[in-house]
Structure 1
Amino acid sequence: MVEADRGSLPFALIHGEALVACAVWALGEAGVTPVDFTLPWEAVVEAGQPYVLHDPLCPMTPASFVARCVTEAVARDVVVVAVRPVTDTVKIVADGLVGDTLDRSELVEVTSPIVLPASAVARLDELPSGDFATLAAQLATRFPIHTLEAPAEGRRVADLDDVRVLEALTLG
């Protein structure tokens, strides 16, 4: 569970529960043993298992999707990165001037989880970053990457307004 450098937002409530608790429950329901960054990397490597990074800022990611990501990572021996389509308009800014609009069909937002197969874990001296976008970019320079589109409820929240939107999306 990656909660470092996320401020207090992982402890905000959604459906009456902390975001981090919801994310941990999804891991458990997916059959993944939750660990945090206090576990020494050597112990992770020694376990010889895939390593699942789940972000509490994607608290409603379904356990079935987490399990699918693990299955894909193991079966294909690739790093699996969950993504969501970009829906905002993205502009190029150069020399302080707003320029062309990027084609958002070519863009994705990294969400959660990121799953490293055991073979990738064994080749790393440490986890390069706890920031999911940075980590995905760094891993892509060393390992084959397979992206899977996360369901809408797997979206990342950035603030309390996003939490309220996600809560409304996941009612019922």
Structure 2
Amino acid sequence: MNENSQDQNFHAPVDLEDLQPLGLLLDEERGSLPYALIHGEALVACAAWALGESGVQPVDTGTTWEEIALSGEPVVLHDPLCPMTPADFIAACVLRAATEDVVVVAVRPVTDTVKTVSDGAVGETVDREDLRALASPVVLPASVVAALPDLPSVHFDQLVPALREHFTVELVPAPVQARRVANLDDVALLEALTQR
């Protein structure tokens, strides 16, 4: 993912008193990994706690998109595969989405070596400077929620390009704690990084 906007690091506590953002914890189609343990708790539980601590009201399972849209509130899409995303970062993303009326997408720098591939042959190394890895959350301002007939995808790698076709999307650098996990080794690494 290419970064289209530069942003300053904003992780100071944020007060969402005037907003009542709703949150969807996207654990479907992610296998059993959201239920792996980090610091003795399921990833999905850690992600849910971060939503609550940020001032976001989790949406009950079974709530329709139409009901969510009628609330007139911003919606936070949080991936439990980014379980340690700090609550203050989530709140700052909500505030930015609501005040600037833009979709806010958390991203991390790409640290792996990336190569081009053409017809099965490995080619040149891609400059990582402009590449970003999706993190969590993705925050939709109320205007975007109202304009969507449904959530286009529960997978951020499909959702973000779909949103970019119709809405302004701002990429916001996420803290290291918000890194995405793809397997149990990643969970162990994140646990070590977030040890208190």
What is the TM-score normalised by the length of structure 1? 0.98
Amino acid in the other structure paired with 1:160: L
1:19-43 CA-partner distances (Å, limit 9, x unpaired): 0000000000000011266320110
- Say whether 1:20 aligns with 2:7: no
1:41-81 CA-partner distances (Å, limit 9, x unpaired): 11011101001000000000000000000000001000000
What does 1:70-149 correspond to in 2, within 5 Å? 70-149=94-173
RMSD in angstroms over aligned alpha carbons?
0.8
1:110-148 CA-partner distances (Å, limit 9, x unpaired): 110000000000100000000011101110111001111
What is the TM-score normalised by the length of structure 2? 0.86
Number of the residue aligned with 2:26? 2
- Say whether 1:168 aligns with 2:192: yes
Structure 1: gaps spanning 5 or more residues: none
Task: Answer whether contact 1:77 1:117 (CA < 8 A) is retained.
Answer: yes
What does 1:151-162 correspond to in 2, within 5 Å? 151-162=175-186
How far apart are 1:83 and its partner, in Å? Answer: 0.3
Number of the residue aligned with 1:57? 81
Write the distance in 2 (CA, Å) between the matches of 1:50 and 1:42: 13
The percentage of aligned residue pairs carrying the same residue is: 60
Structure 2: gaps spanning 5 or more residues: 1-24
Task: Answer whether contact 1:2 1:36 (CA < 8 A) is retained.
Answer: no
Which ranges of 4 or more aligned residues in structure 1 deviate by more than 6 Å? none
Write the distance in 2 (CA, Å) between the matches of 1:154 and 1:131: 16
Write the distance in 2 (CA, Å) between the matches of 1:83 and 1:157: 13
Secondary structure at 2:58 match in 1: coil
Question: How many matched pairs?
Answer: 172
